Amino acid sequence: MDILDSRVVVTGGANGIGKALAKAFIKEKSSYVLIVDVDEEKLDETKKELNCDALKIDVSKEEEIKSLINYMNEKTGGIDIFCSNAGIGGVPGFFDVTTEDWQNIWEINVIGHIHAAKHVVPQMLERGSGYLMNTASAAGLLTQIGSAPYSVTKAAALSLAEWLKITYGEKGIGVSCLCPQAVETAMTAQGAGTAGVDGMISADECALDVIDAIKKERFLVTPHKEVLEYIQRKSSDYDRWISGMQRLQKKFEDFYNKFNLS
């Protein structure tokens, strides 16, 4: 897809990957970039820094997503690229994760993507063109040691993106799904855990790979190229792959027990 003169929305755009995406679209000369976030203070800072438009929106609320789309329709006449990027790490573990914790991460990491697609795809179909870029994680492909909620929601986000691509990909709708390992953001400021096994990349590096994927209409965006190798191992021998992940889990447990971390 041609990014030049495109009208772009980036959720979770106040910092991290979202901010890097907004910067990248501006550099690629998109005609209008709107960043969306719940963090009003950071949103205002980024708006001033990037000289773009901004809107405080909670992606887990369907009515707010609808108001966001209406806002863009009134401002620019439509949306060409919708980056459904907002997400949270949530509460790690499993036994200590409450029902409310599960609901919270599910509404942001999955339902937010659903709301966006449900309300922006119809106008794209009517126009015959449009692009969705959903941020998931390598955890959605490979699981996340130590965090059931993150693993489950990111797998669901990936599955939704696949379904959208299969269903609408031949009707003018481009779809990419971003699945990085550790990226330098506020979420990883206290450490990336096992996600950092292949090193941490900058949010700007991540954004550049997204731009390339959109231009080439490539579905899977894996800034850490090792992820592709891991997927191949997983698909070729699932049981062996699980055994390897169990060994990684053991290392994770030993490390945290050694330093009495929780």
If we measure between CA atoms, which residue out of 14, 28, 174 comes closest to residue 85? 14
Instruction: Determine the straight-line distance between the first and last CA of the chain, rounded to whole angstroms.
Output: 45
Helices of type H across 128-202 = 138-142, 148-168
Q: From CA 226, how far away is CA 168, in angstroms rounded?
A: 29
Cβ contact 195:223 at 8 Å: no
Q: Which amino acid is at 211?
A: I
Provide the β-strand partners of residue 190.
none
If we measure between CA atoms, which residue out of 20, 6, 11 comes closest to residue 209? 20
Active-site annotation, residues = 150
What is the secondary structure of 115-129 as a DSSP string?
HHHHHHHHHHHHHT-
Residue bearing tokens 């409310």: 100
The DSSP element (H or E) to which 26 belongs, if any, is helix 16-27
Q: Which amino acid is at 181?
A: Q
Cβ contact 89:137 at 8 Å: no
Q: From CA 137, how far away is CA 118, in angstroms rounded?
A: 21
